Structure 1
Amino acid sequence: MKKLATGLLSGMLVLGLLAGCGQKGAAPAPGGDAAQEPSQTSGSLKIAVVPKLIGIPYFNASEQGAKQAGEDLGVEVIYTGPTQADAAAQVKVIEDLISKKVDVIAVAPNDPAALTPVLKKAKAQGIKVMDWDTKADQSVVDLSVQQVDDEVYGRHMADLLVQAMGKEEGNVAIVTGGLSAQNLNTWIDWSLKQIQEKYPNLKIIGEKIGTDEKQQVAYQKTLDLLKANPDLDGILAYSTVAPLGAAQAIQEKGLQDKVSLIGVALPTDSKPFLEDGSLDTATLWNPVNLGYLTVAAAKELAEGKTIENGQDIPNIGKVEVKEDGKTVILGPPSDFTKENAGDYNF
């Protein structure tokens, strides 16, 4: 039944979404771990961009965009973060950045509440505070750069899973990255709301399964999930490594035609799993552009400027600004399938 996902409605949706994000000039992601050196520029502004962790493809791609923006806009970009998705390690990174007297700190928090004290300390010393990719404490941040509208994205993932399954009933599991990650939890909440409102005959199996942003953990926990639930019909996977581990487990067990999988993942990483059907659809955005937009927005913030709704950001395009006036949205998501995954270089 899951092969019904290739119907006309799904195809039209994919084409529409790709038109929104896919044309924004992606560059290839760097191959190695994210460096902690500033981009080579003589700019007077110092902008620090702190990911959840360094060394995974998603944040490597964001680093490339951030550093390219630094070169294009004439600001110094320091891209640095912990090697594990750990809030305490992020606090140490931010403490170091405060001592370096940077002008802006933009952070993708592993645990928003855990970072509030150190972000308040940064603000007390005159440093502008932003979040990007994942929301921090909104009472602290001056500007928030987000990938997509959370509600649209979460609901979209639930719709994609039903399309892949080819039916509106069955057993579904939730696999995620860090259990405290605000963006992942928000998307999950909206997916569950969409299921409750639109697909009441879908049953969620157990609690959401955390994988600590590690593909190997996602692989092992999905194996356990499949063994414990032989009647499982679908999996929703959040974070860019969780879908890969889940797909690896489905592939190993030969369950491509039984268990549908939708996940937040990069097209290049997803391609082998998309091709054999262990991952039905990967949905994301361009992380290179996200890094670029973060630095562009940080420069505007440092210079006392305001980004307006519909403003055209060079190399990015028009962005959406929410009603709160401080949340900037990169754009709609893109869906990646076995037919189009090879068209992208991130």
Structure 2
Amino acid sequence: MQRKYLLIGVLLALIVSGCNMKGTSKEPYHVVYSSEEITEQTEYQNRSTYKIAIVPKVMNIPYFNAVEQGVMEAGDDLQVEVIYQGPSVANARQQIEVINQLVKNENIDVLAVSANDPEQLLPSLKKAEQMGVKVITWDADTAPEGRSFFINMVQDEALGRHLMDTLAWNIDEKGKFAIMTGADTAANLNEWLYWINQQHQEFYPDMQLVETVAANDDPQQAYTKAKELLAKYPDLDGIIGNSSVAPPAAAQAVLEEEKVGEVAIVGLSSPNPMNEYLKKDVVQVVTLWSPKKLGYLTVALSKQLAQGDLPYDNQEISGVGKISVMNDTVIMGEPIDFTKENVDQYDF
């Protein structure tokens, strides 16, 4: 009898408070307050804070330092815990060690990697997924089976062809040139190289590519390679830097060898380290996107993935803008050309 009165009291309380109960034979009953359903969620979905690990190719170069700024800003804005950790040199073995330690020790929800090698990282990424960690790539991709989606800065073909064009325009579409790249295993750098070469072969028959050299995204190696190119090819007309450390290294070498005006330099780099080189006409133009925005976007989409949602075409990302999505690739936006006329407008 006491239980009967208790049940009646509960039902009356629900009616008085404007609540009712809904359910079906297949679903548990739940309470509806003011016509808004409150459904049972898992502890994971209810969490206000996720833990996201962002792994660059290498630490402590200007490009990835700018990415880190965006990552930390997004962590604060979006109220997620972020870890930014990468290898001290740009190679797959060290990066695998970083990934394995993060997955083992940090209880992360999402792992976002700029891959030094598209194949060697796969076992570690697949193991992370098996342990319940969601995996994406950014900046440099792996094979598709290693991640949910890839965040690309720009469209690869457009960027590679544009880099070739910027050099051609500055040496009257003729003469000898070299390409300086980063790690020769990096998928993004190799894609850009492919399209640089395609543009060269299709449109610039009077230009001769003498050599492509890799410097492993190491500033000192890049500087050494640039000096070697200038010594080996005294009649060199231009250099394309296909990674962010190449243009400043080439610029310093050209300045020291007193070849300003003889060897044109273009390529990928942040505006801050290129500011004085551009203003002194050591470098003609450098091209990039905002690495800070790339870091911000990576955290934003990582949090979204942790909540169970994928990015979609024309999605507006606060602090970044509209993104494009093609199949399993996100494209952040268009590249920016920095010249002596506009370089002071940017700060990264």
Normalising by structure 1, we get a TM-score of 0.85
Unaligned segments of structure 1, at least 5 residues: 1-41
Q: State how far apart, in whole Å, the 2-side matches of 1:83 and 1:294 are.
A: 21
Q: CA deviation at 1:71?
A: 1.2
The equivalent residue for 1:18 is none
Letter in structure 1 aligned against 2:268: V
Match of 1:95 in 2: 100
Aligned residues: 301
What corresponds to 1:12 in structure 2?
A: none
* 2:39 counterpart residue number: none
What RMSD, in angstroms, separates the aligned Cα atoms of the two structures? 1.2
Could you tell me which residue of structure 1 aligns to residue 15 of structure 2? none
Cα distance in structure 1, aligned partners of 2:242 and 2:110:
29
Question: Which of 297, 317, 321 is the matching residue for 2:325?
Answer: 321
| CA distance in 1: counterparts of 2:184 and 2:59, whole angstroms | 18
SS at match of 1:145: strand
Indicate which of 179, 188, 194 corresponds to 2:193.
188
- Provide the residue aligned with 2:218 in structure 1: 214
Give the C-alpha shift of residue 113 in structure 1. 1.2
- Corresponding residue number in structure 2 for 1:340: 342
Residue 272 of structure 2 is aligned with which of 256, 268, 272?
A: 268
Paired with 1:79 and 1:43, the residues of 2 have a C-alpha distance of 20
Is contact 1:147-1:285 (8 Å) kept? yes
In the alignment, which residue of structure 2 is the partner of 1:283?
A: 287
Q: CA deviation at 1:337?
A: 0.7
Partners of 1:47 and 1:76 within 8 A in 2: yes
1:149 and 1:309 mapped to 2: Cα distance? 14
Aligned-partner residue type, residue 71 of structure 1: D
Q: What's the CA shift string for 1:82-107, capped at 9, x where partnerless?
A: 11112111111111111122111000
Which residue pairs with 1:233 in the alignment? 237
Tell me which amino acid in the other structure corresponds to 2:67: S
The corresponding residue for 2:124 is: 118
Structure 2 unaligned regions, length at least 5: 1-46
Indicate the residue corresponding to 1:60 in structure 2. 65
What pairs up with 1:40-51 in 2 under 5 angstroms?
Answer: 43-51=48-56
Larger Rg: 2
AA at the equivalent of 2:310: T
- The residue type equivalent to 1:307 in the other structure is P
Q: Is the 8 A contact 1:50 1:81 kept in 2?
A: yes
Contact 2:89–2:218 (CA<8 Å) still a contact in 1? no
Q: After superposing the two structures, state which structure 1 stretch, 229-238 or 289-298, moved more.
A: 229-238
Query: How far is 1:43 from its partner?
Result: 4.5
Moved over 6 A (4+): none
| Counterpart-to-counterpart distance in 2, 1:184 and 1:284 | 13
Q: 1:307: which partner in 2?
A: 311
- 1:104 pairs, out of 105, 110, 113, with 110
Larger RCO: 1 or 2 (CA < 8 Å, sep 6+):
1
Residues 228-261 of structure 1: CA deviation (Å, up to 9, x unaligned): 1112111111111111111111111121211111
Deviation at 1:72, TM superposition (A): 1.1
Percentage of identical aligned residues: 44
* Stretch of structure 1 that moved more, 149-158 or 81-90: 81-90
Q: Which amino acid aligns with 1:172?
A: F
- Match among 139, 143, 156 for residue 137 of structure 1: 143
Q: Could you say which residue in structure 2 is the equivalent of 1:39?
A: none
SS across alignment from 2:151 = strand
| Counterparts of 1:84 and 1:216, CA distance in 2 | 12
How many angstroms apart in 1 are the aligned matches of 2:336 and 2:165?
A: 14
* 8 Å Cα contact 1:43/1:76 also seen in 2: no
1:160 positional shift: 0.5
**1:202 offset after TM fit, Å?**
1.3
